[in-house]
Amino acid sequence: MIESKKVKKILYGGDYNPEQWPEEIWEEDMRMFHLAHIDVVTLNVFSWAELQKDEDTYDFSKLDKIMELARKNGLKVCLATSTAAHPAWMARKYPDILRTEYNGIRRKFGSRHNSCPNSPTYRKYSVKLAGKLAQRYQGYDNIVAWHISNEYGGTCYCDNCERAFRNWLKEKYGTIEELNRAWNMSFWGHTLYDFEDVVVPDLRSEEFDWDGERRTNFQGISLDYNRFNSDSILECYRLEYEAVKKHTPDIPVTTNFMGAYKPLDYQKWANYMDFVSWDNYPSYDGTPAQTSFNHDLMRGLKQGKPFALMEQTPSVTNWHIYCKLKRPGVMRLWSYQAVAHGADTVMFFQMRRSIGACEKYHGAVIDHVGNENTRVFREITELGLELDQIGSTLLGSRAKSQAAILFDWDNWWAAEYSAGPTRLINYHQEIMQYYKALHEQNISVDLVSVNDDLSAYKLVIAPLLYMCKEGFDEKVRSFVKQGGVFLTTYFSGYVEDHDLVVTGGYPGRLKDILGIWVEESDALPPEEANLFTYKGKTYPAGVLCDLLHLQGAKALACYEKDFYEGMPVLTQNEFGQGKAYYVAARSNEEFYADFLGGLCEELSIEPAANTPEEVEAAVRENENGNFLFLLNHRGNTVNVILEKDGEDLLTGKCYQAGDRVTLEKAGVVILKRR
């Protein structure tokens, strides 16, 4: 939809389920949508049971009416394929479609996102349905995107999957000897004689209970199972992709992602998507940095191309443990936060609040009261008007970042499967320390994968890069040689792609770039910390403290306690034209802010703007100009002094450098600067 030539503005709308309502209500919905400036609806997300009553009987009559309704009312359609929940008859007749849990229990019919990705039944009927939908509705020129399935996810451990896993492994490793080597199967006498010996790594096989946490005895097996599961689900998506493209080659295809969602390697998935879309549901206690991080991660999946904000709640979710309302103005603020980070649509779940089952208390454009006299509807209408006014101005604009943070799904899986050295190893959290420090200084960050080109960045940070994949060290080496600045941390460079340790001292392949080697690592419990002083300030060092030796690098700070007092904790190595930094332990927010702030200053990495605390600033640029977003996340009114001239995109008011812009609580100002 964001790629479609039919789109001339930031689309505004969301998931609409008229099939849950009598037809009299539909006309009323249309009236309300027009009032609110809604112009897109996502249809048909969970209608498989309605569309296919049995093996051979398809019935599109209701969807036909709904499609007509949308067309007649000038609404664009994001058309879903309905394959995220299978029909009851299918589960009854073909139990192989049901998923098996980690504990080995096969599920019964129920819930959603419930089909085994390797079930031949699921693949056959999901693809058939997608194809039929595309064939039937190909003439509708208001379809702006295909929405395949919904929030793919989870893991299945059934017999279909076990068989498919063996084939996946045969393809990957060729021989059983190679598989035994890659998984280090001589350990605990695990040697396999045949691919038929492979079993799924679940509770029944490789479970390793680490004080109540689910880990695995064989990281290599579990890691490959994650890769396989992600690939299996991706295969389901791709089959549907092909099926719809056959009839509608020009309609872009997506599926809705969930931000930093661990089970699926979204970087791999994004290669098969025409554009990325995702669902943003910040927790009641979430921070602006966490939300921005998710947006940036999603934007990074396609190297900075705009993405679609496919879902957000207008007011409240039903599934958080405390379903706190978005305060007045916050829906607007968070919508613009998404846009500031690269969204080209603003969409909701859901258009009308259902009356039964678990989402009946989830926020909606049209609430249970059924009319427009609600706070939420008024806020939605006001934003709708603004988006009309903004029109196409911001479409396609991009962020320009000089700093990047590496994010890698394999590394995430591997680092957190590790048995030892500490349960405090948390990849996402470690990355957030660095991201937050930059975000709070309004420094634009791209979240990149190991396959992305690094050459445009001045600074690349790869926190907790436990698995340094083949070839990535070489990429970093040439990046630094050519003048780039690289930073990595404790628990990095330990293993290669199969989770086998690279011997010769940690951090393995990265040693020469960093000019150090790590001999031992001390995992401290949460209540303990070491200390170090950098530029006159003292900071804590905890979680995992590396005991390292310099091999060319210089120490910027040393531990001040314990038997490794005097050993380096922060190092810098000059390498080629560039520099490589190593942070040998977890420190605190203050350290990351000070240290990264200093680095950015040294590298002349400019913030989008200088703003008071909790006022976020981000920039997007396209041929229409350079747009500065100022987003007030504080609970009060605040002034921002501008460093450059600009014109308020919404009010037309002109400002000069040195002028003050006032932002109300939850206020947003977008300034066009050239």
Site for ligand GLA, rule CB under 6 A: 150-151, 256, 279, 281, 311, 317, 319, 349, 359, 362
Residue labelled with tokens 């613009």: 336
- Phi-psi category of residue 667: left, alpha or beta, with phi > 0 → left and psi -120 to 50 → alpha: beta
The verdict on 487 binding Zn ion (CB under 5 A) reads: no
Tell me the closest approach of the beta carbon of residue 207 to ligand GLA, in angstroms: 30
Whether 413 and 497 have beta carbons less than 8 Å apart is answered as: no
Each residue of 44-80: b (16+ CB within 10 Å) or e?
A: bbbbbebbbeeeeeeebeebeebbebbbebebbbbbb
Check residue 105 and report its DSSP letter. P
Part in contact with Zn ion (CB under 5 A); list of ranges 75-83, 159-167, 357-365, 506-514: 159-167
Q: Which listed option, Zn ion, ligand GLA, none, makes contact with residue 281 (CB within 5 to 8 Å by class)? A: ligand GLA
Q: Minimal CB distance to ligand GLA: which residue?
A: 279
Tell me the closest approach of the beta carbon of residue 161 to Zn ion, in angstroms: 3
> How far is C-alpha 668 from the geometric centre of its chain's CA atoms?
24
Six token digits for residue 464: 């907790």
Q: Residue 181 belongs to what H/E stretch?
A: helix 176-182
Nearest to 611 by CA among 441, 485, 457, 480: 441
The verdict on 640 binding Zn ion (CB under 5 A) reads: no
Tell me the closest approach of the beta carbon of residue 131 to ligand GLA, in angstroms: 23
As annotated, the active-site residues are 151, 311
Tell me the closest approach of the beta carbon of residue 45 to ligand GLA, in angstroms: 6
Q: Which listed option, ligand GLA, Zn ion, none, makes contact with residue 216 (CB within 5 to 8 Å by class)? A: none
Pick one of 70, 161, 431, 502: the residue that binds Zn ion (CB under 5 A).
161
Six token digits for residue 376: 């939420």
The bridge status of strand 253-254 relative to strand 213-216 is: unpaired
Each residue of 141-154: b (16+ CB within 10 Å) or e?
A: ebbbbbbbbbbbbb
Residue 49 backbone dihedrals phi, psi, to 5 degrees = -60, -35
Six token digits for residue 404: 């990047």
Nearer CB in complex with ligand GLA: 309/545: 309
Q: Which listed option, ligand GLA, Zn ion, none, makes contact with residue 158 (CB within 5 to 8 Å by class)? A: Zn ion
Nearer CB in complex with ligand GLA: 229/256: 256
Check residue 18 and report its DSSP letter. G
Tell me the closest approach of the beta carbon of residue 244 to Zn ion, in angstroms: 24
The verdict on 158 binding Zn ion (CB under 5 A) reads: yes
Nearer CB in complex with ligand GLA: 187/319: 319
Q: Which listed option, ligand GLA, Zn ion, none, makes contact with residue 116 (CB within 5 to 8 Å by class)? A: Zn ion
For residue 296, count CB atoms less than 10 angstroms from its CB and return exposed for 0-12, middle for 13-18, buried for 19 or more: buried
Nearer CB in complex with ligand GLA: 49/424: 49
Tell me the closest approach of the beta carbon of residue 24 to ligand GLA, in angstroms: 25
Part in contact with Zn ion (CB under 5 A); list of ranges 115-123, 132-140, 183-191, 522-530: 115-123
Q: Which listed option, ligand GLA, Zn ion, none, makes contact with residue 362 (CB within 5 to 8 Å by class)? A: ligand GLA
Nearer CB in complex with ligand GLA: 15/202: 15
Question: How far is 84 from 127, CA to CA, in rounded Å?
Answer: 12
Q: Which listed option, Zn ion, ligand GLA, none, makes contact with residue 671 (CB within 5 to 8 Å by class)? A: none
Question: How far is 446 from 431, CA to CA, in rounded Å?
Answer: 12
Tell me the closest approach of the beta carbon of residue 15 to ligand GLA, in angstroms: 6
Nearer CB in complex with ligand GLA: 150/442: 150
Nearer CB in complex with ligand GLA: 195/281: 281
The verdict on 116 binding Zn ion (CB under 5 A) reads: yes
Q: Which listed option, ligand GLA, Zn ion, none, makes contact with residue 349 (CB within 5 to 8 Å by class)? A: ligand GLA
Question: How far is 600 from 208, CA to CA, in rounded Å?
Answer: 43
Nearer CB in complex with ligand GLA: 334/466: 334
Q: Which listed option, Zn ion, ligand GLA, none, makes contact with residue 430 (CB within 5 to 8 Å by class)? A: none
Question: How far is 269 from 277, CA to CA, in rounded Å?
Answer: 12
Pick one of 32, 66, 69, 156: the residue that binds Zn ion (CB under 5 A).
156
Tell me the closest approach of the beta carbon of residue 112 to ligand GLA, in angstroms: 8
Nearer CB in complex with ligand GLA: 284/319: 319
Whether 384 and 37 have beta carbons less than 8 Å apart is answered as: yes
Task: Find the length of the chain.
Answer: 674
A 10 A CB-CB count for 640 gives: 21
The verdict on 160 binding Zn ion (CB under 5 A) reads: yes
Part in contact with Zn ion (CB under 5 A); list of ranges 131-139, 154-162, 248-256, 487-495: 154-162
- Phi-psi category of residue 74: left, alpha or beta, with phi > 0 → left and psi -120 to 50 → alpha: left
Check residue 634 and report its DSSP letter. S
Tell me the closest approach of the beta carbon of residue 424 to ligand GLA, in angstroms: 30
Q: Is the dihedral of CA 191, 192, 197, 203 positive or negative?
A: positive
Six token digits for residue 546: 């590396």
Question: How far is 62 from 19, CA to CA, in rounded Å?
Answer: 7
Question: How far is 456 from 661, CA to CA, in rounded Å?
Answer: 33
The verdict on 97 binding Zn ion (CB under 5 A) reads: no
Encoded amino acid at 532, one letter:
F
Part in contact with Zn ion (CB under 5 A); list of ranges 56-64, 143-151, 160-168, 577-585: 160-168
Q: Which listed option, Zn ion, ligand GLA, none, makes contact with residue 257 (CB within 5 to 8 Å by class)? A: none
Bridge partners of 655? 646
Q: Please report, as ranges, the residues that interact with Zn ion according to CB under 5 A.
A: 116, 118, 156, 158, 160-161
